[in-house]
Amino acid sequence: MPRQRLILFGALGLFVVFLVYRVATGAMVNPLEGGPALGMWVAALLTLCIFSFLAGDNPFYKFAEHLFVGVSAAYWAVKGFWNAIVPNLMGKLLPEFTANTAIPGLRKEDGTLPAPDLIYVLPLIFGLLLLWRLAPKGQWISRWSLAFVVGITAGLRLIGYLSSDFVGQVRNTMLPLLVVGDGGLLWVDSFNNIVIVVGVVTGLAYFYFSREHTGAFGRMTRIGIWTLMVTFGAGFGYTVMGRIALLVGRLEFLFVDWLKLASP
């Protein structure tokens, strides 16, 4: 057995002895209690399996990864069925049947039920057409449903982006360069507005490629690229902060909640 593997197994053995000792002395929760205690142990061991990837690919990491994919697929299938198909399809088409078999709450306290809404036959048909993909012949039929989904999504998002991101952002950039308050010129607000307006204009200028980036226009685009670089830097900084926060959260879980080596 290679020396490195021996050290690894030795360290793992010591860690297991440490855990057994902590559980035996009541310093940690006992996984045999079941319920939340067992859940905490499973979460902690799976976290360690994922962390083991830092040392390189290994069977523990693979196990946790495959478990995650499998559980996620099942979870989403169940969630989709009980949160969309049952209340929003069956509940609309067959309210009485759904209230009697799955969601009693569809029936109001005074006993009334909503009338069947037959327009929901259309999503039912489109849903079935989508499943045609699994049939041995005529898979092209599923494209009708896909076309509907793509068309609706594209239309919705186009409107959202046009109104909030395009028109809204143009409006947000129309700012006074000199902000005057009761006490005279507000220097900080004016500076902020100038930075926003100059940043947007020069940033847009950088992406204008129909004219060579030379002379005064070139100097403007240089400011634009600096604006972009500062933005990327801020984005990178935020990303580091986010990733470190996740690490802190996981290590807190391991050392405070699971191992109970540090106080909350």
Helix (H) or strand (E) holding 185: strand 184-185
164 counts as binding other proteins under rule CB under 8 A: yes
84 counts as binding other proteins under rule CB under 8 A: yes
The nearest distance, CB 137 to other proteins, in angstroms, is 30
Residues in the chain: 264
Choice from 16, 27, 67, 108 touching other proteins (CB under 8 A):
108
State how far Cα 14 lies from the chain centre: 37
Choice from 88, 100, 101, 139 touching other proteins (CB under 8 A):
88
Which range, of 16-24, 25-33, 132-140, 150-158, touches other proteins by CB under 8 A? 150-158
Choice from 169, 197, 209, 210 touching other proteins (CB under 8 A):
169
1 counts as binding other proteins under rule CB under 8 A: no
Under the phi-then-psi rule, with left for phi > 0, alpha for psi from -120 to 50, and beta for the rest, what region is 190? alpha
Choice from 7, 16, 165, 229 touching other proteins (CB under 8 A):
165
Number of residues counted as binding other proteins (CB under 8 A)? 55
Tell me phi and psi for residue 108, to 5 degrees.
-70, 165
Query: Between vectors from CA 93 to CA 87 and to CA 99, what angle results, nearest 5°?
Result: 50
Q: Does residue 120 contact residue 89 with C-beta atoms inside 8 Å?
A: yes
163 counts as binding other proteins under rule CB under 8 A: yes
Residue type, 105: G
- Range 120-123 contact pairs with CB under 8 angstroms and sequence separation of 24 or more: 120/88, 120/89, 120/92, 120/93, 121/93, 123/89
The nearest distance, CB 83 to other proteins, in angstroms, is 5
The nearest distance, CB 109 to other proteins, in angstroms, is 5
195 counts as binding other proteins under rule CB under 8 A: no
Q: SS3 for 84?
A: helix
Query: Scanning residues 110 to 139, which ones bind other proteins (CB under 8 A)?
Result: 114
Determine how many CB atoms are found less than 10 A away from the CB of residue 176: 12
Cβ distance to other proteins smaller for residue 24 or 150: 150
249 counts as binding other proteins under rule CB under 8 A: yes
Choice from 39, 138, 160, 218 touching other proteins (CB under 8 A):
160
Q: Give the contacts of 181 (CB within 8 A, at least 6 positions apart).
A: 189
Which range, of 9-17, 30-38, 202-210, 233-241, touches other proteins by CB under 8 A? 233-241
Q: Does residue 31 contact residue 37 with C-beta atoms inside 8 Å?
A: yes
Q: Which residues bind other proteins (CB under 8 A)?
A: 54-55, 75-76, 79-80, 83-84, 87-88, 91, 103-109, 114, 152-153, 156-157, 160-161, 163-165, 168-169, 171-172, 231, 234-235, 238-242, 244-252, 255-256, 261-264
